[in-house]
C-alpha cells in the first residue's frame, strides 16, 4: 500500500495534528524521515507551514495539540512535543508538555533538531575529526575500547549504528556493541559517510 494511502487510513483522512480534512500531504518528520509511515505524519497545509516556518505560528491553531499529543504514533508525538516546546512561553503549552510522556527513543528523536534550545543550551557532538554527529548516525570506532562491566573489548573498526546523543555531555554518545548498549567517548569514533 502506498505511503499516502497508509497514512490516510491511519488518520481517518484528517490532519494528524489538527484534524483538518483538506490540503493533506505526507510530512517526513525531520531530521531524517526515511519515507516510512512510522517516520511520517499526514498534515494539512496550515500545520506544515507553521512547523517549517518558526515565528509564523497562530497560537490558537495549536490548541489542537491538547488532543493530538496523546496519539500512539511516535511521529505525531514528536511533532506535538516540538510545537509545544516552541510555544511554551505562552503558558498553556508548558502545562501540556508537563503532562506529555515520551519514551527515551522518541524523546531523543524529538530533541534531534534542537527545537526549543537556545544557542547556549544546544550541545554539539563532534567525532574525532570534528564532524557533527546526529542521533541515528553510524560511526566507526578508531581505537580498541575496554567496556567496563561487560568484560569485552570493542574492537577498532567496529561500526556502531543508530547512535544516541547524551544530551548534556557533548563528549559522549550511546550505541550498541555486541548487543550491549554502551557509552562511547566521541574522541574515539569517526562518522561514516
**Which domains, ranges and CATH numbers included, belong to the chain?**
3-111 (no CATH), 125-191 (2.30.30.40)
d(CA 58, CA 1): 35
153, containing H or E segment: strand 152-154
Q: What pLDDT does 116 receive?
A: 62
pTM to 2 decimals? 0.60
- 135 near 125, Cβ under 8 Å? no
pLDDT of residue 67: 94
What's residue 70's pLDDT? 94
- The pLDDT, as a whole number, for residue 122 is 59
Spans of the chain below 70 pLDDT? 1, 116-122
DSSP, collapsed to helix, strand or coil, labels residue 85 as helix
Residue 179: its pLDDT value, please? Answer: 87
What is the model's pLDDT at position 118?
53
Give Cβ neighbours of residue 89 (< 8 Å, ≥ 6 apart). none
E strand or H helix at 173: strand 172-177
Predicted confidence at residue 169, as pLDDT, reads: 86
CB proximity list for 12: less than 8 A, separation 6 or greater: none
Amino acid at each position: 500500500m502506498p505511503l499516502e494511502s497508509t497514512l490516510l487510513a491511519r488518520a481517518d483522512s484528517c490532519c494528524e495534528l489538527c484534524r483538518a480534512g483538506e490540503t493533506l500531504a505526507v510530512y517526513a518528520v525531520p531530521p531524517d524521515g526515511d519515507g516510512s509511515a512510522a517516520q511520517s505524519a499526514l498534515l494539512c497545509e496550515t500545520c506544515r507551514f507553521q512547523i517549517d516556518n518558526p515565528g509564523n505560528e497562530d497560537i490558537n491553531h495549536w490548541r489542537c495539540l491538547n488532543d493530538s499529543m496523546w496519539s500512539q504514533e511516535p511521529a505525531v508525538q514528536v511533532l506535538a512535543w516540538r510545537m509545544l516546546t516552541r510555544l511554551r512561553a505562552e503558558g498553556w503549552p508548558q502545562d501540556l508538555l508537563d503532562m506529555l510522556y515520551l519514551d527515551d527513543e522518541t524523546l531523543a528523536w524529538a530533541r534531534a533538531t534542537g527545537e526549543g534550545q537556545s544557542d547556549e543550551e544546544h550541545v554539539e557532538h563532534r567525532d574525532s575529526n570534528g564532524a557533527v554527529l546526529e542521533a541515528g548516525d553510524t560511526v566507526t570506532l578508531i581505537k580498541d575500547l575496554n567496556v567496563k562491566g561487560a568484560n569485552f573489548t570493542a574492537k577498532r573498526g567496529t561500526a556502531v549504528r543508530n547512535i544516541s546523543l547524551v544530551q548534556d555531555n557533548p563528549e559522549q554518545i550511546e550505541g550498541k556493541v555486541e548487543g550491549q548498549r554502551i557509552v562511547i567517548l566521541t574522541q574515539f569514533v569517526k562518522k561514516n559517510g
